[in-house]
Amino acid sequence: MLGISKKIESASQVDDQLVLPFDRRQKSRLRVELASGTEAALLLERGTVLRGGDLLQAEDGRVVQVVAADEPVLLVTAETAQQLMRAAYHLGNRHVPLEVGNSWLRLEQDHVLQEMLVGLGVQVEGQMAPFEPEAGAYGGGHRHHHDDAPSIRQPAHLRTHG
């Protein structure tokens, strides 16, 4: 089985592709099948989230491009910017991974959230499309101040209290 453990910034050529939905692109340890049919083991740094277009280098030197797979999502549009911002606010309050486009939002299909959105007066359409949610304000996942353990906080002289 081919081992893949390195993310690279660029390559002169792509040798294969790895097509995965978002939930599988969040896993750092994963058994996968490349587009060519080759079985591979992803052994990436913990916390790595793969995005469509990312490049990986296998142990044998071949370059593999990540492709965001089409998956069931909800496309949210609205008649006004205020309605769309209100929908984004309510989804954010629920910590829903959300892709933000120009005049639209996209989230994973969920009938409860769909009902809430319709109740807010926005248009919701189920579709099959790649899902690339926002990475979060600090480049990683979502964090709250109370998530910090004392051992990983900033030094006291750099901290602000509030």
Q: What are the residue ranges spanned by the domains of the chain? A: 2-68, 71-129
The CATH fold of domain 71-129: Alpha-Beta Plaits (3.30.70)
Find all residues with CB under 8 Å of 135, minimum gap 6, and list them. 49, 141
Segments of the chain scoring below 50 in pLDDT: 140-162
What distance in Å separates the CA atoms of residue 17 and residue 65, rounded to the nearest whole number? 5
Give me the amino acid identity at 114.
Q
Domain 2-68 bears CATH identifier 2.60.260.20: yes
Q: What is the pTM of this model?
A: 0.78
Q: How confident is the model at residue 152, as a pLDDT?
A: 35
Q: How confident is the model at residue 158, as a pLDDT?
A: 39
Nearest to 72 by CA among 118, 111, 33: 111
Q: How confident is the model at residue 138, as a pLDDT?
A: 52
